[in-house]
Structure 1
Amino acid sequence: MRFPRSAPEQQGVSSRAIERLIDALESGPPSVHSMMLVRHGHVIAEGWWAPYRRSHPHSLFSISKSFTSTAVGFAIEEGLLTLDDAVVDLLPDDLPEVVSDNLAAMRLRHLLTMTTGHTFDTVTLLNEREQNWSRLFLALPVDAAPGSTFVYNTGASYLLSAIVQRLTGERLLDYLTPRLLEPLGIADAAWEQCPRGVDVGGWGLSITTEDIAAFGHTYLRGGVWNDRQVVPAHWAVEATRLQVPNGDFGGVDDNSHGYGYQFWLNRHGSYRADGAFGQLSIAFPEQDALLLLTGGVADAQRDLDIVWEHLLPVLGARELPADATAAARLARRLETLRLPLPVGDDTAPIAARVDGTTYALARNSAGLRTVALETRPDCTRLTIVDAGGTHVVDCGRGEWTTGTSSLLGNHDAPVASAGTWSDDSSFLATVYFTETPFAVTVSLDFLGDGREVTVTVDQNVSFEPTRLLHTIGHAL
């Protein structure tokens, strides 16, 4: 543990207020995976919603951008770059045959501030079929003058990573390790790569909640960690202050209050590193506080609104009187957080009849071919076969059973699963991919005598439709 721990009241925050914050976060669909609140350099509240755990790294999505920005800051400090370097000079081997005037005018600062002149997020065109993503990015039309308008552009963050790798000869993760990760005690970080082995920059970093806290606190303290200047002081300030407008500053949407160097500015004088589906590192400079959230949230603005309503007003300036009763109750609450298990009975009248039966599924866009349930002494085994192979998920009864699954990708990933009979003829399984925001629910609704089943698969959050499958299966 890299932070000292403290009772909330010692740092000017009421334990009762933190409980109300948790109540509000839990008032909607189950979506929060972890929370850590840091005040005056002390962790005053921390919790993980089971089956998520302290030791689990979590996919950060676009919080990764803020780490990419930090790498650029180091490269500038070391004299490898300047903000006004032309992008065409930084990647000369990847240029299109004809360089437009707008492309020629694009500078490093435009990549950092999402003002490249593109009219859409270029990441939508980056894919595994194209090996050289830098060349693809630079070949796209630049319709507006760079610097003229803000358009969120994850492809620009990728290009920052490619530039750092070209100049240093190291992938971004390796470049950051001695400069940032090791000083902050961040070990076992992982970063997704493009087909050419470039860290994707705009997403793909996985670290733990306390790792994110160490990073966020370093910026909150002007780049200092444990009395050492880790991030260059000027970069810690410039990256997190207003660099470009990105909307109506009077609005209630926290995506419209300005942008720094791969950091968002919020209302109330705060700023954040922000990743899709509820990965949030919210810094309160005026209150010397930091809130970390990970999750699987469809609308992160809801969580931000909850923070403004329930946390910001209680970040008092002075130590509060001790409240041992409330502090103990909060501690118990934080130790017993859990995402809801599927609700129902361990058995159903039809369970024995369908046990071990394989059902062939009608042709479907998800590519699933067969499904089967098997009752075992300690779990119910769900077996799904698709074009990628056989996926076996052991669903605990009244508890999460851990394992691995490749159900959502090309490789096995850690999962926690539980299942139950939700009524006399329906089995419901929930599978959390515990190093990601993602969860799937699989519903098997058996018809008549059990020779036919309706199979529905839903995902909690996604950039695509969350209904993955709804089809009929017949017993073989």
Structure 2
Amino acid sequence: MNSLSSLYPAITALDLRSCLISQQGTLNFEYYRNQHTVTELAKINSCTKSILSSLICIAMDKGLLPQSDTPITAFFPQLKIDNDARKQEITLEHLLTMSSGFNWTEFGGQKSFPLMTKSPHWTNFVLEQTLSDPPGTKMEYNSGNSQLLSAILVQAAGMSTARFAERYLFEPLGIETYNWEIDPQGIHTGGFGLWLRPSDMLKFGQLYLQQGTWNNKQLISRELVAQSVQPFISVDTPYRGRYGWHWWTDSYFNASDIPNVSPMSYYYARGYGGQYIYVIPSKQTVVVLSDDKRKKKQVTVEVFREIISPLLVMQ
């Protein structure tokens, strides 16, 4: 196995907040900008979406939520009298795969995400948006979908999203401290707003690498772990790869075209500003990256694909 020690100069030069790499359950690479970073909570931004995906899967396993093809009118009956009857076709899976069809531009153009966060009722704001595509036909990145899922989880579980996470995910993983923002109705933000330590992000990735098992206990069924990280729908530029249930999927192939080296498939949680949790099953590897630089100073290099993947693919 190639040593990962050669990564230190490159990672240090980028001044990331953290970089952790676990292989076969062993932490083989650990970088923190300083000692404070080890214990400090920090925003994981849209990596929150993948955490929420796991909670939805757990709720399905427990029978609190129905199957993924269930229309969301079961939770938002007001859609049955909406002027656009197509909204009645939106399912849980459409929300999970960002294919609900809502006319939404996260930041550019309409600035739908900022408008949602400034509205007095986020859930209603999302439900009242017009449809630009039939449900299930196109992936359009939309944190409003995630907010609907968080609201649905509250209905189904009879407790807050954060409390559900504590009971069925955080406590079993030993995640003892976190922060989680809420909307005006007190619903925890589904698409962002969770604060974790890098080591706890690594635990979450390791749970998925272990197909939902932690300390010999099945926290998420193997079936739903596998289903949630399948490449479900294609994405448009500037994104690459495909999208699953609030997880991104992609593959890496060594550009040098070395014989007998297969493409390395992986899936990952991705958050604005350099927050990532990568799971690479074929290499039994989890990679966590975090950063906190202001926009003008953010790292422009794709750290995982350009610096870490060339080492992993040869192992």
TM-score range, shorter chain: 0.7 to 0.9
For residues 55 and 247 of structure 1, the distance between their equivalents in structure 2, rounded to whole angstroms, comes to: 37
Counterpart of 1:266, as a letter, is D
For residues 16 and 86 of structure 1, the distance between their equivalents in structure 2, rounded to whole angstroms, comes to: 50
TM-score by length of 1: 0.58
- Shift in alpha-carbon separation, 1:103–1:15, aligned structure 2, 3 A: closer
Q: What residue in structure 2 maps to residue 126 of structure 1?
A: 116
Counterpart of 2:179, as a letter, is A
**The structure with more strand, counted as a fraction of residues:** 1
Q: What residue in structure 2 maps to residue 312 of structure 1?
A: 309
Q: What residue in structure 1 maps to residue 183 of structure 2?
A: 194
Match among 11, 18, 21 for residue 37 of structure 1: 21
Q: Specify the structure having the higher radius of gyration (Cα).
A: 1
| Length, aligned pairs only | 294
* 2:76 matches 1:91: yes
- The structure, 1 or 2, with the larger RCO (C-alpha pairs under 8 Å, 6+ apart) is 2
> SS state of the match for residue 280, structure 1?
strand
Match among 90, 94, 118 for residue 106 of structure 1: 90
* 2:284 matches 1:292: no
Identity %: 25
Compute the displacement of 1:169 (Å). 1.5
For residues 118 and 243 of structure 2, the distance between their equivalents in structure 1, rounded to whole angstroms, comes to: 30
For residues 184 and 317 of structure 1, the distance between their equivalents in structure 2, rounded to whole angstroms, comes to: 31
Compute the displacement of 1:283 (Å). 1.4
> SS state of the match for residue 127, structure 1?
helix
For residues 306 and 82 of structure 2, the distance between their equivalents in structure 1, rounded to whole angstroms, comes to: 52
Counterpart of 1:126, as a letter, is M
- Shift in alpha-carbon separation, 1:247–1:95, aligned structure 2, 3 A: closer
TM-score by length of 2: 0.86
* 2:135 matches 1:146: yes
Q: What residue in structure 1 maps to residue 266 of structure 2?
A: 270
Q: What residue in structure 1 maps to residue 60 of structure 2?
A: 76
Give yes or no for contact 1:34–1:52 (8 Å, CA) kept in 2.
Answer: no
Counterpart of 2:132, as a letter, is D
Q: What residue in structure 2 maps to residue 19 of structure 1?
A: 8
Give yes or no for contact 1:137–1:155 (8 Å, CA) kept in 2.
Answer: yes
Map 1:292-371 → 2, pairs under 5 A: 292-296=288-292, 298=295, 302-304=300-302, 306-315=303-312
* 2:30 matches 1:46: yes
Give yes or no for contact 1:264–1:273 (8 Å, CA) kept in 2.
Answer: yes
For residues 213 and 91 of structure 1, the distance between their equivalents in structure 2, rounded to whole angstroms, comes to: 35
For residues 99 and 125 of structure 1, the distance between their equivalents in structure 2, rounded to whole angstroms, comes to: 22
For residues 56 and 69 of structure 1, the distance between their equivalents in structure 2, rounded to whole angstroms, comes to: 24
The runs of 4+ residues in structure 1 deviating greater than 6 Å are: none
- Shift in alpha-carbon separation, 1:111–1:82, aligned structure 2, 3 A: same
Map 1:226-305 → 2, pairs under 5 A: 226-247=215-236, 255-268=239-252, 269-296=265-292, 298=295, 302-304=300-302
Compute the displacement of 1:106 (Å). 0.8
Give yes or no for contact 1:117–1:149 (8 Å, CA) kept in 2.
Answer: yes
Match among 45, 59, 62 for residue 61 of structure 1: 45
* 2:144 matches 1:155: yes
Give yes or no for contact 1:193–1:199 (8 Å, CA) kept in 2.
Answer: yes
Give yes or no for contact 1:96–1:135 (8 Å, CA) kept in 2.
Answer: no
Counterpart of 1:47, as a letter, is Y
**The structure with more helix, counted as a fraction of residues:** 2
Q: Which runs of 5+ in 1 are unaligned?
A: 1-11, 319-476
For residues 166 and 202 of structure 1, the distance between their equivalents in structure 2, rounded to whole angstroms, comes to: 18
- Shift in alpha-carbon separation, 1:168–1:20, aligned structure 2, 3 A: same
Q: Which runs of 5+ in 2 are unaligned?
A: 107-111, 253-264
- Shift in alpha-carbon separation, 1:234–1:54, aligned structure 2, 3 A: same
Give yes or no for contact 2:242–2:248 (8 Å, CA) kept in 1.
Answer: yes
